[in-house]
Amino acid sequence: MHKIATRWVDRLGHLCACAVLAVLPLAASAAEEDPWEGFNRPVFRFNDTLDTYALKPVAKGYQAITPQFLEDGVHNVFGNIGEVGNLANNLLQGKVHDAGVDTSRLIFNTTFGLLGFFDVASQMGLQRSDEDFGQTLGAWGVNSGPYLVIPFLGPSSVRDAGAKIPDSFLGPYPYIDHVPTRNVTRAVNVVDTRASLLSAEKMIGGDKYIFIRNAYLQNREFRVKDGEVVDDF
């Protein structure tokens, strides 16, 4: 359950980070990429209900009782762990320079940043990548396939759904043998990530399903093509 929730929130993080792109008039093309809307909408409502009555209240409570410096530090630690995935996928995409930056960030933040609690690398001008195997497949020419909403996991596509499997081996959880430690770590990651998205919800308007679908598809295209997309606004 925690693993599924973690991946779903991660996808929410991606779409909220670029949700402002959803104002672009891409509804028609998005609909063509969503032939399974009859399945996706009920799953979306299930996920949204679960978030509204379970995850979101916990995230609000966490944010209310956690000092800002501690919340930022915890968020940075999980971001530092994610550098491993960024590094691997940048190498697979042939982005040698970006992989070098990922390596430097991982070294500096793990050492001088106290296991990533402080993001000293960003202060040094080393900007963080945000790569995953779905983007790698896209860079290799694999089409995204139809839009897909997965229970607990949230918005995805056929390509990105399959890419979650190799991505899971780049995270720490398969290598934590102590089950309570693994579950607590997952839970903290889920709650911390969800809390960081609370302020972004005000950007969502209109039909929530369509907004999130368009935002997700545009965000993924933007990331796969490294920002080199045609602006048909």
Model confidence at 2, pLDDT cuts 50, 70, 90, reads: very low
Mean pLDDT of 87-94: 97
Model pLDDT, residue 10? 46
12: closest CA among 129, 152, 107, 118? 152
Using CA atoms, how far residue 43 sits from 52, 126, 151, 163, in Å, is 14, 39, 6, 20
CB 44 within 8 A of CB 50: no
Per-residue pLDDT tens for 143-193?
Answer: 999 999 999 989 999 999 999 999 999 999 999 999 999 999 999 999 999
In the prediction, which pLDDT does 50 show?
A: 96
How far, in Å, are 8, 56, 75, 185, 222 from residue 135 at the CA level?
17, 28, 23, 26, 10
Residue 199: per-residue pLDDT: 87
pLDDT (0 to 100) of residue 18 = 45
> Residue 102: CB partners within 8 Å, gap ≥ 6?
83, 86, 87, 90, 129
Q: How confident is the model at residue 232 (pLDDT cuts 50, 70, 90)?
A: low
What value does the mean pLDDT take over residues 74-103?
97
pLDDT at 229: 66
pLDDT the model gives residue 216? 95
- Partner residues linked to 154 by β-bridges: 150
Residue 6 has pLDDT above 50, yes or no: no
The HSE-up count of residue 39 (CA atoms within 13 Å, CB side) is 11
How many residues are there in the chain? 233
CB 7 within 8 Å of CB 164: yes
Q: Collapse the DSSP code of 166 into the 3-class scheme (helix H, G, I; strand E, B; otherwise coil) and give the result.
A: helix
